[in-house]
Amino acid sequence: MTTERIHLATVRSKPWLSRVTLWRAARGILKHVVMLAFVVLMLYPLVWMVVSSLRPNNEIFTNAGIIPDHFQWSNYTNGWVALTTPFGRYLINSAVIVIGAILGNLFACTLAAYAFARLEFRFKRVAFTIMLLTIMLPFQVTLVPQYIMFSWVHLLNTVWPLILPKILGTDSFFIFLMVQFIRGIPKELDEAARIDGCGHPRIFLRVIVPLMTPALATTTIFTFIWMWNEFFAPIVYLTQPQNFTVQLALGQFIDSQTGGNWGQLFAMSVVSLIPIFLGFVIGQRFLIRGIATTGIK
Amino acid sequence: MSVFEELRSTRKSAATGKRENKAAFWFLLPWLLGLLLITAGPMIASLVLSFTNYNLLQAPSFIGGHNYVRMFQDPRLLNSLRVTFTYVFVSVPIQLVVALVAAIVLDKGMRALPFYRSVFYLPSLLGSSVAVAILWRQVFGQSGLFNQLLGKVGFHDLPGWISDPHWALGTIILLNVWTFGAPMIIFLAGLRQIPTMYYEAAAIDGAGRWTQLWKVTLPLLSPIFFFNVLLQLIGAFQSFTQAFIVSGGTGGPSDSTMFYSLYLYQQGFAQFNMGYASAMAWLLFIIIAALSGVTFLTSKYWVFYDN
């Protein structure tokens, strides 16, 4: 089955030959029809939510179509201020946590990855194995004592319980990703820098870090999306509405809308998805490469 | 190379080079602190707490193995285990098979492949968000989108899927299947690593496409499949957000979406039974470790390694 392009070429050059080739071309088209059907199936609910976020409430439960017919922007303006705090506050809260987590991961994971990829030290195998095993550790196992610890030092309802673990390199996935990446950088570059008199801090900063920007981009984009969506840790640590992240605010929105102001709820849901969607569009290359090279989720 | 393969083959560090203990210590310092303060310390603390009764206000009191005994007499906990196991063992296999089929179809031989890959990948980024869970709540509600669409093709008197104890879990399973894009990308990366000469050799020996799939592609993909099984298994056991939002935090209707993590959350952070929640966390850990272990041990029978 070389490629369908070749079949099409054959169809064009020898049209008299081609019952079989025509059939193959038709099968190619059929394949696209099937694929497009799946595309519609997968995306229909999402598109419908976006369209419905501009519809009046009663329409949402009667109109299954995805052709925009109403443009009730008040869902957005009213939804924005429907909770005790304007939605902008939750976006800022989420942004602060996400940026802190990204910086934390970039800081701790690059340092640790450099040590694992380039340095020889005692207990390296043990440490590396432990690092890999922590990737698989369910975070519930450490949650209760962490919560108690953060409550002792009066850091509940701050961003620290969410950011500090990142600054201390507990997202081992990214360490692993970076180790893989650094191993691909020729060691001759380190050697050249060493001959020029650079110690490890300089080799790290001047040689390795500039060369590992793709891995840094992958880490940034994944941390961004995962932290933006994070729900369990924030719901445990953030209990005061003015500290809520976007996800918590949406959760509260449902509770406060038992009668169901679905237009507004959908509008704010769409707002909460826009950053991820933009991240996906901009960072797709790094996302896919990151998954492909390490098999991270 | 995946995490798992790395673990299989953790290389003996070449002891030839000189040791750089001091530099390594400074580079690893943040990670070491994290390991001690955020991971290992709390792990031990939660093991200790699991043998106590602790509500944050009074000092923990030692009660021996009572929490563990209580777990096996707690019908809600046993139910949450049943729900979680059902979820894991139904949704993970379906999701992985869909991901595998999608990857094989989207590997080559078609135009616009990058477009299809992106579209199929997108839901796995959105799937864990509250917004999508909210969407699911509406779509599978009594008069939600799903029933509206079914109504158009003549089905009426349909249940409210998320409010019916028989179906609620199914909607969350469907949501997880919908996010097959991430494992699909991993499979695609694996497919690309299979040397084309294997297919050429198989073709010369007269193997058709179907035989090539079964005799070349699938065996060579089995390490990736194994890795995906492990990854999805561990992730699925910890599922929380979707059940929380779809059920409004209750695990309802009639505890049919009471995931283990959700029950743990309720015990620990709604009722502040910290001791009991710690015991639950350790049981979860043991279950996940045991299942991973079984997957590892059986892997030599069904995972094919090329080296």
Output the CA–CA distances (angstroms, integers) from residue B96 to A222, B90, B176, in the order listed. Answer: 21, 11, 10
Residues A145 and A221 in one domain: yes
CA–CA gap between residue B75 and residue B59 (Å, rounded):
28
Q: Residue A258: pLDDT above 60?
A: no
Alpha helices (runs of H) in B127-217, residue ranges in sequence order = 130-139, 145-152, 168-178, 181-192, 196-204, 209-212
pLDDT value, residue A295: 53
Sequence ranges of the domains in chain B: 62-302
Q: Would you give the DSSP letter of residue A48? A: H
Residues A68 and A146 in one domain: no
- Tokens 């028989």 belong to residue: B166
pLDDT value, residue A1: 40
Given A48, A75, A102, the domain boundary residue is A75
Residues A210 and A127 in one domain: yes
A156-171 residue pLDDT tens: 999 999 999 999 999 9
Domain count across chain A: 2
Residues A283 and A184 in one domain: yes
pLDDT value, residue A296: 47
B156 touches chain A (CB under 8 A): no
Q: Is B19 exposed, middle or buried (0-12, 13-18, 19+ CB in 10 A)?
A: middle
pLDDT value, residue B212: 93
Q: Residue A174: pLDDT above 60?
A: yes
Given A75, A95, A129, the domain boundary residue is A75
State mean pLDDT over A242-264: 85
Q: Cβ(B283)–Cβ(B71) under 8 Å?
A: yes
pLDDT value, residue A285: 81
Chain A 18-47, residues with CB within 8 Å of chain B CB atoms: 28, 31-32, 35, 38-39, 42-43, 45-46
| pTM, rounded to two decimals | 0.90
In this complex, the residue of B56, B143, B238 whose CB is nearest that of residue A138 is B238
CA–CA gap between residue A139 and residue A136 (Å, rounded):
9
CA–CA gap between residue B265 and residue B253 (Å, rounded):
18
In this complex, the residue of B42, B111, B138 whose CB is nearest that of residue A146 is B42
In this complex, the residue of B42, B105, B284 whose CB is nearest that of residue A145 is B42
Residues A118 and A245 in one domain: yes
Chain-centroid distance of CA A62 in Å reads 33
Chain A 241-270, residues with CB within 8 Å of chain B CB atoms: 246-247, 250-251, 254-255, 262, 265-266, 269-270
Q: Residue A130: pLDDT above 50?
A: yes
Mind telling me how many Å the CA of B150 is from chain A's nearest CA?
10
Question: Which two structure tokens, joined as six digits, stand for B100?
Answer: 């595998």
Q: Residue A16: pLDDT above 70?
A: no
What DSSP line would sit under B15-28, residue for residue?
TTSPP-HHHHHHHH
Q: Residue A257: pLDDT above 70?
A: no
Q: Residue A54: pLDDT above 90?
A: yes
Chain B 178-217, residues with CB within 8 Å of chain A CB atoms: 178, 182, 185-186, 188-189, 192, 209
Residues A43 and A122 in one domain: no
% of residues, chain B, pLDDT over 70: 94
State mean pLDDT over A41-63: 92
pLDDT value, residue B296: 87
CA–CA gap between residue A49 and residue B130 (Å, rounded):
13
CA quadruple A138, A139, A140, A143: dihedral, nearest 10? 160
Q: Residue A48: pLDDT above 60?
A: yes
Residues A12 and A66 in one domain: yes
Residue in B300, B12, B42, B175 with CA at minimum distance from that of residue A149: B42
State mean pLDDT over A224-234: 96
CA–CA gap between residue A236 and residue A91 (Å, rounded):
19
Q: Cβ(A154)–Cβ(B254) under 8 Å?
A: no
Looking at residue A83, its amino acid is L
Q: Cβ(B242)–Cβ(B83) under 8 Å?
A: no
pLDDT value, residue B252: 81
Residues A166 and A277 in one domain: yes
In this complex, the residue of B130, B138, B149 whose CB is nearest that of residue A250 is B130
**Which structural domain range is residue A191 located in?**
80-294
Peptide bond connecting A165 to the previous residue in cis, omega within 30 degrees of 0: no
Residues A21 and A144 in one domain: no
Output the CA–CA distances (angstroms, integers) from residue A25 to A1, A8, A237, A285, B198, in the order listed. Answer: 12, 6, 58, 31, 26
CB-side exposure of A220: number of CA atoms within 13 Å?
A: 14
Q: Cβ(A295)–Cβ(B103) under 8 Å?
A: no
Probe site for chain A from B7, B19, B22, B135 (most A CB atoms < 10 A): B135
Residue count of chain B, please give it: 307
A273 touches chain B (CB under 8 A): yes
State mean pLDDT over A27-39: 91
Residues A197 and A222 in one domain: yes
Q: What is the 3-state secondary structure (H, E, C) of A65-95?
A: CCCCCCCCCHHHHHHHCCCCCCHHHHHHHHH
Q: Cβ(B269)–Cβ(B249) under 8 Å?
A: no
Assign domain B62-302 to its CATH architecture: Orthogonal Bundle (1.10)
Question: Which two structure tokens, joined as six digits, stand for B187?
Answer: 């499979």
Number of CB pairs < 8 Å for A and B?
291
The contacts of residue A184 (CB under 8 Å, 6+ apart) are none
Residues A31 and A163 in one domain: no
Q: Is B160 left (phi over 0), alpha (psi -120 to 50) or beta?
A: beta
A95 touches chain B (CB under 8 A): no
Q: Residue A2: pLDDT above 50?
A: no
pLDDT value, residue A297: 40
Reduced to 3 states, what is the DSSP secondary structure of residue B295? helix
Residues A118 and A16 in one domain: no
Given A23, A57, A75, the domain boundary residue is A75
pLDDT value, residue B13: 46
State mean pLDDT over A109-118: 96
pLDDT value, residue A249: 95
Residues (pLDDT < 50) of chain B are 12-14, 16
Chain-centroid distance of CA B253 in Å reads 23
